Chain A
Amino acid sequence: MLIINCPYCGPRDQSEFSNGGEAHVKRPDGSKEIGDREWGEYVFIRANPKGLFYERWVHTHGCRKWFNCVRDTSTDEILVTYKLYEKKPNLNNFKSVVKTPSGEPEVGSGNFTVEK
């Protein structure tokens, strides 16, 4: 179980939170003409990278506030959490300590006996 640092309440157990998928996806302005492709991408398409990822979470069983974070999807490490209106941090500021421990070695499998 992860510990997530709610920007309003402080560090809490993951079970208090719900995940909201990719962050910084802008909703097209409804007052303007929106093309099928643009709208379709907003509704259906989300990134799913292995590595650093901007992500939304909500403190469901707490303050019920939404916030953003940067999570390394390969290690599950949450590197920083920030409020919705705060500027998104530059991903170059973060470095994974071990490169993709969930990465599949060429031989064997899960226990990464061969360091990449």
Chain B
Amino acid sequence: MKSINLKENQFIQFHQKISFKFDGVKYFGYKGDTIASALLRNNVNLVGRSFKYHRPRGIYTCGIEEPNALVQIISEYSEPNTRATIKKIYEGMEIESQNRWPSLENDFGSINNLFSPIFTAGFYYKTFMGPHKKFWKNLYEPLIRRAAGLGKPPKDFKGISNHIHHNVDITIIGGGLNGLLAAKSFINSNYDVLLIDFEEQLGGIINNSNKISSIDNKEPKDWLKETIQEIEDSKNIKILKNTLVTTYNYINHLIAIEDRFVGSKPIEGKVNSTLHKIRTGHTILCNGHIERFLSFQNNDLPGIMLSSSFEKYMCRYGLAPSKEPVIFSNNSNSNSLVYSLIKAGLKPKAYIDSRSGEEIEPNLFDLIRKNDVPLYTNSQIKGAFGNKKIEKILVEDSSGALNEIKCDCLCLSGGINPDVHLFTQSKGLLDWDEKDLTYKPSKPFQPTITLGSASGQFNFDNLNSDINEKLKTFKVKKLDVKLELNTNAKYNIEKLWEVSPQKKSLWAKSFIDLQNDVTTKDIRQAITEGFDRIEHLKRYTTNSMGTDQGKISSINALGIVSDLLDKKVNEVGTTIYRPPYAPLSFSAIAGRNCYEFYDPERKSPIHNWHLKNGAIFEDVGQWKRPWYFQINKDESMHDAVQRESKNVRENAGILDGSTLGKIEIKGEDALEFMNLIYTNSFTKMKQGSARYALMLGEDGMVKDDGIICKISDQHFIATTTTGGAATVLGCMEEYAQTEWPNLKVFMNSITEQYATFNISGPKTREIMKKAFPNINFSNEEFPFMTFQFHEFNGVPIRILRASFTGELGYEIYIPSNSAPKIWDNIQSVGKEFGLAPYGTEAMHLLRAEKGYIIVGQDTDGSITPIDLGLSWMIGKSKKDFLGKRSLTRSDTIREDRKQLVGIIPSNKTDKLEEGQHIILDKEIKSPVPMLGHITSCYYSPTLGHDFALAVIKNGHSMIGTKAYASTSSMGTTGVDIVKPVFYDEGNKRLVS
């Protein structure tokens, strides 16, 4: 196909040359060119290989509907599957073709085309089944994955994007003739209006074709300029250009993506694209129509193009892709291409129309006759042939004779469809138009208005009345636009979906979906095999499942299926149109919610100290908690944890517990409320004392635990697990509002207002005395599970005597701002007693030695307090609390429930592992009955061997017996089932 540049064009700056590289070869285009128009200018027609058969493919369209010309933009984060027909070139752009190896011209994969008779619909499903199911995972899938797909996934993250929200009265989608007229009606009205167009220039059909000769007795170009100026001057209308509406959600919520770097290379670090989230009162869809193609043998050869696209290249890009294209049509839409060609001093090599001479528009007839264009009426193209490009076509004329025509370009028109994607996304109903042979919007579901060809109005005669009628509710001024057309014809179409090939052959292909290489034969086969429902057929054949979603072909498929099934198209129905309208990158959806903004990091007030002192952090919910502290770079985690744990048992350790959830509960009925929320009874509890408490779900399962401090009957402070803080507060609020609104109680999170230090170990009392000399820490004055308020250097503090390690311990609550100072002070006075910080891992080890559970590690939402051996915590005399009744459900009183036990290896040198299954027999014979599993497992420096907590069936009564722990990696280990307490069973150290 040899292209020529037309003389002048308002959109292309012929004086401004731009160089770019395609597959390593340097080419020149002009400012304003897309990749496709620039390649056509350089007579590059082969731009990619097809998905399945690796067939040579060229440029089929001139817009977003492009199925073939997908390229990888190397110079932009290696962005794959970019439509060459919409991406503008810039100086230095690097582009590569896709799905070919070693080169586009000589592609090894094209061997698939030879084997194509076996690659039919459902090929993968049928073929890759045996001989063993392992073959799929190890052989077939890796092979298919390597061969699948078009572009290569980029290695780098695409540039940043941001999100903008809009709240408007009216959104007009599409700035073509109808969109501009609608916007014109709203000029200086009281409505906030957003006008969105995908292109850089508003105007749509006025720019893309020569259909319109004058508007209001002006040149269309001049009218356009004036109208856009008027709209831009209007204060209530905002225009978004280069913005594609991809999604139409419920309640008129639209998503649109704006390209911020059209025609220039995105600047690194700058926002590349903007995602607009639009909430609108009414949506006016003026997004026009899409031309469809026709199926015949080899209808995918490079050099075949839609006729309206050819005309768009002429009008928008000053470029005729070929000097003498052949035109094949079944409708009147291609009339204007003939007109445009002749106006440009070119002429079609032949005009082939499936319609009869009487149906063909008289002025088209005149034009063709006057210019001696060979005319074939009542004729069809049986096939196109050529090596990597179209060279000749075979035409069957009205007499049935075959004519061979040599050509380098073929323009197709199979009719036009309203672009109904957005309308159907909005849940509007479609209806099949038997005369125009297409689905048209019928009943909107939301406040949606369709105008122009998007509503199925393919003629211009009702232009004014249609807009005036549909915009009546807005009470805007009425339009009276005078429109003159160059091709004065009513839309007329004859049914034609497919021309059967001249010779039957296994290798003859008439494509119905170019991007996914689906042929009309695949559709026939699928129906024969019983996939006659349109949704089944779509999935079985992958028809219209490419990134183009079959924009130029899906209606053709419905037509073919309706003929095959002998049903009306309306009965066949369509598949669901789902958002997005065209692919949009994940980076646009993510916006600024990535990296550090993806999920906020929460840090304790002591965080900087941890950083300076060798802390290795672990994530607990959003919190960063010190996992363990390295004294030097070579210390392993195991060594650090052993050292920290030992130090707590022998001297004293300090843990930053600031991340623990803290909730303050106040009010006249606070006591009653707490009795209802937690399993424990707080009624007889003394003021100033504390209690370990459990919270259940209504199903009776343990949801959270914590320590409750009772300041008075009207005032409590509860701690929660680090991860459960928000849930517990949410649960308290829910029940306070929904179930017990009669209770006068309020609750608030004070997690971040207070830092918490947990100091524990035998030397703790000495350290506390020295750090807080005015406080009496004696056992009598400050017994276990009590708390006191004090003031230290003007800072109000609360000290609670409690322990999670089994040693003597205190928890200090300090307002966050004063916490670092007090922390430093404790560090310095504690030095002489061997005080050292410890992390969460040592804390977990120490608490496990005491058999203290961690909700979420030793429980999993299916464990009751009874299963944990914590029946003593249930306030049995209480009439009600969350989940109380569930503790006597038939399921919760079952004897074989999984219950918490301790596990130690029978041979003390054996190792255990979290997640190991507990089984009864040493010998493994599948299926192995599983008793339960290990939930926590550590090596204890105090005991000198591994120990574990586990939940196993009927565990409480199995204590004292033997079993086995098993994993495939570690084999089977003999274990003793013991009580879940490994250290200081009498709690002497706690109360010392």
Contact = CB atoms under 8 A, between A and B. Distances in A.
Given A34-B885, A109-B573, A114-B571, A101 B741 contact: no
B884 interface: yes
Contact of B885 (A30, A60, A76): A30
A36 B534 contact: no
A108 B573 contact: yes
A13 B739 CA distance: 27
A111 B738 CA distance: 40
A2 B573 CA distance: 28
B527 to A, nearest CB: 14
Contacts of A113: 429-432, 439, 570, 573-574
A64 to B, nearest CB: 6
A10 interface: no
Interface in A38-91: 39-40, 42-44, 56, 58, 60, 64-66, 75-77, 84-85
Given A84-B737, A115-B443, A31 B879 contact: yes
Contacts of A85: 741
A111 B573 contact: yes
A3 B880 contact: no
A98 B253 contact: no
A27 interface: yes
Contacts of A84: 737-738, 741
Nearest to A20: B734
Given A40-B889, A111-B430, A114-B570, A31 B880 contact: yes
B210 to A, nearest CB: 34
Nearest to B571: A107
A86 to B, nearest CB: 13
Main secondary structure of the interface of A (DSSP, over half): loop
B405 interface: no
Contacts of A105: 573
Contacts of B879: 30-31
A31 B676 CA distance: 12
Contact of B737 (A1, A43, A65): A65
Contacts of A101: 427, 429, 445
A107 B572 contact: yes
Nearest to B698: A43
Contacts of A94: none
Given A3-B279, A43-B699, A76-B250, A112 B741 contact: no
A1 B886 contact: no
B576 A110 contact: yes
B577 interface: yes
Interface string B699-739: 10000000000000000000000000000001001100111
A98 B533 CA distance: 25
A109 B576 contact: yes
Contacts of A98: 427, 429, 443, 445
A104 B555 CA distance: 20
Contacts of A76: 250
Interface in B406-465: 424, 427, 429-432, 439, 442-443, 445
A105 to B, nearest CB: 6
B890 interface: yes
A2 B886 CA distance: 36
A36 B429 contact: no
Contacts of B730: 58, 60
Contact of A111 (B567, B571, B577): B577
Interface string B246-258: 0001110100000
A76 B573 CA distance: 24
Contacts of A40: 889
B535 interface: yes
Contacts of A42: 698
Contacts of A56: 738
14 contacts: A30-B884, A36-B890, A39-B885, A39-B889, A44-B699, A58-B730, A58-B734, A85-B741, A98-B445, A101-B427, A107-B533, A108-B535, A113-B439, A114-B570
What are the 4 tightest A-B residue pairs by CB atom distance, in nearest-first order?
Answer: A108-B573, A30-B880, A110-B576, A31-B879
